[in-house]
Amino acid sequence: MNEFFIAIGLVFVIEGFLYAMYPVYMKKLIQLMLDYSDISLRYGGILFVIIGLFIIWVAK
């Protein structure tokens, strides 16, 4: 369970770093995401879940 909280903390650190260092780019990225269809975002999300699970599997 400790690893889970570390992983969540890292997500916050990385996301916060991106917003702190590149706020204009992050706004553009959000605007770009609004232009994509729901199905495209869903497939992108599924792809990232698969990649993340693969990385965890390889690391373990």
- The per-residue pLDDT for range 2-53, each reduced to its tens digit, is 888 999 999 999 999 999 999 999 999 999 999 999 999 999 999 999 999 9
Would 6 be classed as within a structural domain? no
Would 27 be classed as within a structural domain? yes
Domain count, the chain: 1
Assigned token pair, 41: 């975002």
What pLDDT score was predicted for residue 34? 95
Using CA atoms, how far apart are residues 41 and 46, in angstroms rounded to an integer? Answer: 9
Task: Please tell me what DSSP assigns to residue 36.
Answer: S
Would 28 be classed as within a structural domain? yes
Using CA atoms, how far apart are residues 4 and 2, in angstroms rounded to an integer? Answer: 5
Type of residue found at 6: I
Would 5 be classed as within a structural domain? no
Q: Which domain holds residue 48?
A: 23-60
Would 44 be classed as within a structural domain? yes
What pLDDT score was predicted for residue 2? 87
Would 43 be classed as within a structural domain? yes
Would 14 be classed as within a structural domain? no
Would 11 be classed as within a structural domain? no
